Each structure stands twice: as C-alpha cells, then as structure tokens.
Amino acid sequence: MTAASTSASAVRDLGELDWDNRFTRDLPADPIDALDAPILPRQVEGAAFTRTRPTSVAEPALLLASDAVAADLGLDPSALADEPALSALAGNRVADGMDPFAMNYGGHQFGNWAGQLGDGRAIALGEVVDTSGHHQTLQLKGAGPTPYSRRADGRAVLRSSIREFLCSEAMHHLGVPTTRALSLVTTGDAVVRDMFYDGNAAPEPGAIVCRVAPSFVRLGTFELPTSRGDIDLLGSLVATTIRHSYPDLVGPDGTVGPSQIAAFVQTVVDRTARLMADWMRVGFVHGVMNTDNLSVLGVTIDYGPYGFLDDVDLDWTPNTTDFGQRRYRYGNQPRVAGWNLARFASALVPLMDGVEPLQEALDSYFSTYSSSWLSAMGAKLGVSVDAVTVPDDAEPTTSGNSPGTLTAEDPLFADLWTLLPRVETDFTRTFRALGHADLTPADGVDRLWAELETTVFYRPDTLTDELVGDWRNWLERFAARVVADARDPAERAAAADAVNPIYLLRNWLSQEAIDAATRGDEEPLRTLFDVVRDPFVERDGLEHYAGLRPDWARDAPGCSTLSCSS
Ligand code: AMP
Ligand code: MG
C-alpha cells in the first residue's frame, strides 16, 4: 500500500496550497463570466473556458479520501473531513488562490460530431503546484451547473461518484495512467435520476468527487475551435497545451510550429496506444470512449458506465446505451482509440503545412499498440514474446480474435485468446494462475489444468472433451515456452504476480459497497477501497474479493449493465 508521507509543512486548508492557475492565465476566457450573472446554457465562442463558481450544497460530509493524493498536493490528509477543507471540497467555499472555471470542448459521441459539450458538471478550482513541483488541476465533479450544462443539472449521484472515486484509485494502483481522486463528499442534497431510462425518475443522494490530474484537456478540446473555423483559438490551445503538458517538445526560443505540433501528435498517439494496451491487460472497458472522454495526456478520464471483464468476452460492454452497436466493446477499444486519434489529428491540420507528419504519427499507432500489448501479455504469462507480423490483409481485431492482432501477434497468445471465450472463463483468475504456475516439473501441466478446471470456469459443466483437449494442448505449448525461457520459477512467479492482480474492482464488488453505503453502512466501501489499493499481493481473509462473479450479479443492474444516468 502506498504510505502517504505527510511532510511537516502539509497544510490544512486548500487556500494555503501553492496555486498557480496557468490555464486561466494563458488562454482566452469567455468575456461573459458566470460568477454573478445567472448561469444559462449557451454556446461559448472564442474562449477556452468560462469563469464560474460551484453551487453550494446543504450538508457536506467527507465519505472517502485518498491520503496519498492529499499528501502529494501538500495537504494534511487528516484535515479533509473538517473545516476549512471540507467546505472547499464541497464547493461551498472558494478558497484563496483558486480561480474556478468550466472548460469548453466538443467531441464525437458514438462516432458522430456532437458540437459543443464542455464541463457541464465539472468545475476546475485551479492548479496547484504539488510537492514534486508539478501542476495539478483540482476539479469538482457534480458541483452544479455551468454554461455547458445544456439541459442537465450539473450534479452527480452517490453511486456513480463512488464508482469514479474507487476506479481512479484502483487504476492507479494497477499501474494504469489515470486521473486521481482526492475526495468524495456527500452533499446532503437529493439528485433526481431516471436510472433505467424507463420513466421512473427518483431522488438519490448526491455527491462530489474532487478529481486531480495535470490537465483535463481532451482530444475534443481541439476539435471544437476547428469545427467553428476559429484557428486563433485552436493555435492558442495547441501552443498552451504543449507548453504546459509537453514542455520538452517546445522548439528553440519557445517556438511552437508545425514540427512541434507533429511531435505533439506523435506523443499523444504513443501514450494513447500504450494506454489502450494497459486497459486491455487489466480487462478494463471504459464504456464511453467519445473523443471528449479521451485525455490529451493519455490518461484514463471520465469514469461512467465502465466495467472490468469477469468472463472473457471480446464483445462485452457494460454501457446499456451502446447495446445496439457495441462500438465501445472490450475488443474494439484499441481500434476506437485509433479512430479518435484521427479526429484529433484532423483538427490540427489548419496549423500544419501538410498532412504527412500527422499521417505518419497516426500510422504508428497500431504498431505501438501491438508491441505494448505483446509485452503486456508476455509479462502476464511470464514468458518471452515470439512475435510474427500480421499480414496487412488480415482482419484486425473483431469479435473472437485476440485483442493483439492489429499489426503483430504471438501465435501462442493468439491461440489462448481463441480458447478463452469458448466457455465462460474468468479473465483475472486465469492469468493469475497461468502466470505463477510452476511448469518445470513433469506433472506441471497436469497440476495447472487441475487448478484451472476448478477455479476459473463459470460453468464447469460446459467443458467438452474437445475443449479440455485443446486447453491441454495449449498448456503443453505454454510449458514448452516456459521451459525454453529457463527462468527461475520463483522469480518468474513473483514477476507475473506483480502484473496479474488477484483483487480487482469488479462491478459486483462496487455494487455491494454502494448498496451498503446507501443503507448507511460505510464499512464495505472502506474495505473495498483498501483492497483495490493493493491489488497484487494475496492477503488472508480477502477471498471474497478474489472470487468468481456470483450468480446473483450475472445480469444485475450496476454489475453487468450500467446506464449513463449518473
Ligand atoms: P460524458 O460523456 O458522460 O462524459 O458527458 C458528456 C457531456 O455531458 C459532458 O459535456 C458533460 O459535462 C455533460 N453532462 C453529463 N452529465 C451531466 C449533468 N448531470 N449535468 C450537466 N452536464 C452533464
Ligand atoms: Mg465526459
């Protein structure tokens, strides 16, 4: 577990942090601010953001906080539950040094251009220089309406705030780049939601998560000005993003021209490709990979109807809104990110002399993804990678294929991926077992199969003789690779256990914690938060968190299916 080391100089109020609001200082502001005027939804042209204020809530209380995030910011974690910190985290008080604003951006939603979206329920408080000297934006999600709220209320419900808080921290501890979560505050106000979109709207408890990231700029941030022909704003956004987030890419004498922009796009492409391999290696399905929900830093952002795979199913998506097309299904994520990056690069064309450097950057995406995926799979299985190039005319990832088959593949891995979905096979438990199995003794394969047979299949009665034969053949080939690698078995097992989680934020575990918290029992939530912060080391008494999805959760709302209503 990350030990939060609080330095002696840690402060108790957000107002005492080292605020340095670069975004609002360096980019054009909406001339109509929303500080005193009534907040009406509108189109905001020629501006990167609108100054605004959180709307106060009735009765804030701290439910969860990440001590490590607090300590990194220079905040004393023990101070967050009380005044003066609590009122700032609830949006009831704007502390000294803050300059709250809502960001303006657009995006492609489910493949279609959606125009202006913007921070409809997120309000950035400003930027803090953290204890390592890096800028971190603090942002309250669910803090009330902004000019970008369209017809919605700017609020968030407790269940979705718990999911966002837990997953941000869980992903960080799985080694997946992500926005972080400092705090989760309940508001004491009710928020009305129609959870199943069936006409039964009901009040639910409201909550606010304070998210933390070096930047909340999205791919869609650049698409909006280009769609409006506002090349001045586009140029400012690109130059400022490069200066703030990618200072190493700035040219001599501070220039940002076509070659710096090409390097910027290349970096975003590389980071996004690696992020996709990270998502795929932990079985994460984002659920709403619209261009406004992909970060320009290549970190996971905007946790909504996401989920982790229980059984391996390349077609699975938790998002009920996407059940028709399944555009954002697990197996399609790498391709969708490539599509999103193409929208991003296209938005930058007006700043370039020609499209070739952008095309080159985009062309590298699939091979960067494939090599990241292959090394992740090698690490998970604890074997060397024996890659072959996938022919150009091969069908890229579709259902039933390995998520790796984009430009390169290892036949051993690809064949495992054709076995896994044949009957319901648990993703996390299977890789944990394969990665640390000792396959050097003569009976290694027999023992491993005996373990798999009883621990990873949801319905052992569906195992046919043919499938068992195919599994055993594959295990023999796997064992041959392990033996050829000639690594020390204990070292191999330890290395594989360090990348194959035993505990995962499975949807049904979140749902259990949410149900208990809604009844007023916060203990399961705190335990789950502890569990997901240390996902790789097996601990006594935590069997519940390492188990197969129970039957009650198979089709339960919040477990296998989630709506966007949050
Ligand atoms: P999403 O795809 O869920 O990240 O959200 C798409 C857009 O809808 C973003 O501009 C959000 O800010 C906005 N939005 C989502 N929920 C709300 C809400 N409750 N109030 C205002 N805006 C919202
Ligand atoms: Mg979003």
List 204's β-bridge partners, or say none: 191
- On the question of pLDDT at 436 being above 70, the answer is yes
Domain count, the chain: 2
Distance CA 420, CA 428 (A): 11
Are residues 192 and 270 both part of a single domain? no
In a domain, 62, yes or no: yes
Is residue 526 very low, low, confident or very high in pLDDT (cuts 50, 70, 90)? Answer: very high
Residue in this structure with the two tokens 């020629």, named with its chain if needed: 46
Asked if 118 and 44 touch (Cβ cutoff 8 Å), the reply is yes
Element of type H or E holding 68: helix 67-73
Confidence of residue 211 (pLDDT cuts 50, 70, 90): very high
Q: Is residue 104 part of a domain?
A: yes
**Does the CB atom of residue 149 touch ligand 1 within 6 A?**
yes
Interval 219-242 mean pLDDT:
98
Distance 140 CA to ligand 1 centre (A): 13
Mean pLDDT of the chain: 95
- Peptide bond before residue 31 is cis, with ω within 30 degrees of 0: no
Q: Residue 401 in contact with residue 431, Cβ under 8 Å?
A: no
Catalytic residue among 30, 119, 230, 292: 292
| Pair 208, 273 in one domain | no
Based on the fold, state whether residues 11 and 125 are members of the same structural domain.
yes
Q: Are residues 60 and 88 in the same domain?
A: yes
Q: Please tell me the number of Cα atoms within 13 Å of 398 on its side-chain side.
A: 3
CA 83, CA 62: separation in Å to the nearest integer? 11
Q: What is the mean pLDDT of residues 47-62?
A: 97
In a domain? residue 533: no
- Please check whether residue 42 lies inside any domain of the structure: yes
Whether 110 shows a pLDDT value over 50: the answer reads: yes
DSSP readout, 296-330? TTS-B---SS-EE-SB--TT---BGGGTTT-TT-G
Predicted confidence (pLDDT) at residue 399 exceeds the cutoff of 50: no
Same domain, 159 and 308: no
Give the residue whose CA is nearest to atom 23 of ligand 1: 120
Compute, in angstroms, the gap from residue 156 CA to the centroid of ligand 1.
10
Give the number of the ligand closest to the Cα of residue 105: 1
Going by alpha carbons, the residue nearest to atom 11 of ligand 1 is: 120
The string over 66-79, giving b where at least 16 C-beta atoms fall within 10 Å of a residue's C-beta and e elsewhere, is bbbbbbbbbbbbeb
- Cβ neighbours around 10 below 10 Å, total: 20
Centroid of ligand 2 to alpha carbon of 267 (angstroms): 22
Q: Where do the H-state alpha helices sit in 289-349?
A: 333-348
pTM for the full model?
A: 0.97
Based on the fold, state whether residues 209 and 247 are members of the same structural domain: no
CA dist 120 and 147 (Å) reads: 7
Return the percentage of the chain with pLDDT > 90, whole number: 90
Integer-rounded Cα radius of gyration of the chain: 24
Give tens-digit pLDDT for 160-176: 999 999 999 999 999 99
Per-residue pLDDT of 453-470, as tens digits, reads 999 999 999 999 999 999
Does 422 map to a domain? no
User: Which has the closest alpha carbon to 122: 86, 95, 160?
Assistant: 160
Is the pLDDT confidence value at 34 over 60?
Answer: yes
Q: What is the pLDDT of residue 395?
A: 58
**Residue 387 to residue 402: CA distance in whole angstroms:** 13
155 in contact with ligand 1, CB cutoff 6 A: yes
Tell me how far the alpha carbon of residue 119 lies from the centroid of ligand 2, in angstroms: 8
Residue 478 lies in a domain: no
What pLDDT score was predicted for residue 3? 47
> Given a cut of 50, is residue 400 above it in pLDDT?
no
The response to whether residue 288 sits with its C-beta less than 6 Å from ligand 1 reads yes
Give the residue-averaged pLDDT of 201-216.
97
Tens digits of residue pLDDT in 364-391: 999 999 999 999 999 999 999 998 888 7
Which residues contact residue 449 at a Cβ distance below 8 angstroms, ignoring those fewer than 6 apart? 468, 471, 472, 475
In the prediction, which pLDDT does 5 show?
A: 57
With a CB cutoff of 8 Å and minimum separation 6, the contacts of 13 are 79, 84, 85, 88, 95
| In the predicted structure, residue 237 carries a pLDDT above the cut 60 | yes
Closest CA to 56 of 164, 148, 181, 140: 140
Listed residues 169, 194, 214: the one ending a domain:
214
Is residue 393 situated within a structural domain?
Answer: no
Alpha carbon separation from 453 to 206, 411, 459, 471 (Å, rounded): 44, 23, 10, 10
Cβ atoms 356, 258 nearer than 8 A: no
pLDDT band at 394 (very low <50, low <70, confident <90, very high): low
User: Is 292 an annotated catalytic residue?
Assistant: yes
pLDDT at 212: 99
Residue type, 5: S
Residue 245 lies in a domain: yes
pLDDT over threshold 90, residue 197: no
Q: What is the pLDDT of residues 176-195, one digit of tens each?
A: 999 999 999 999 999 999 98
> How distant, in Å, are the alpha carbons of 33, 215, 518 from that of 511?
39, 30, 10
Percent pLDDT > 70 in the chain is: 97
| Chain centre distance of CA 407 | 24
Say yes or no: 10 and 81 in one domain: yes
Position 7 scores a pLDDT of: 73
Q: How far apart are alpha carbons 115 and 250 in whole angstroms?
A: 30
Q: Is the pLDDT of residue 516 over 90?
A: yes
Which of 150, 319, 336 for a ligand 1 pocket mutation test, highest count of atoms within 8 Å of Cβ? 150
Distance of alpha carbon 532 from alpha carbon 379, whole angstroms:
21
Q: Whose CA is nearest to atom 10 of ligand 1?
A: 117
Judged against a pLDDT cut of 50, whether residue 417 lies above it is answered with yes
Q: What is the dihedral of CA 67, 71, 77, 82, to 10 degrees?
A: -130
Q: Which domain holds residue 134?
A: 3-214
Please tell me the predicted confidence (pLDDT) of residue 216. 98
Last residue of a domain, one of 195, 214, 233: 214
Same domain, 241 and 206: no
From the CB of 41, is ligand 1 less than 6 Å away?
no
Report the pLDDT value the prediction gives residue 6, as an integer from 0 to 100.
63
Task: Please indicate, yes or no, whether residues 206 and 239 belong to a single structural domain of this protein.
Answer: no
Q: Which amino acid is located at 376 in the chain?
A: A
Q: What is the pLDDT of residue 396?
A: 52
What is the rounded distance in angstroms from the CA atom of residue 171 to the CA atom of residue 459?
A: 29
248 shares its domain with 346: yes
Q: Is 117 in the pocket of ligand 1 (CB under 6 A)?
A: yes
pLDDT per position as a tens digit, 472-482: 999 999 999 99
At residue 213, the 3 state secondary structure works out as: strand
> Any idea which residue has 């335990």 for tokens?
527
Residue of 409 and 240 predicted with greater confidence: 240
**Hey, what amino acid is at 134?**
H
Residues 32 and 153 occupy one common structural domain: yes
Distance CA 489, CA 518 (A): 46
Q: How large is the average pLDDT for residues 313-334?
A: 94
DSSP 181: E
Q: Residue 2's pLDDT band (boundaries 50, 70, 90)?
A: very low
Q: Is a pLDDT exceeding 60 seen at residue 397?
A: no
| Same domain assignment for residues 231 and 343 | yes
From 376, 393, 411, the end of a domain falls on 376
Q: What is the pLDDT of residue 560?
A: 83
Other beta carbons within 10 angstroms of residue 129's beta carbon come to 16
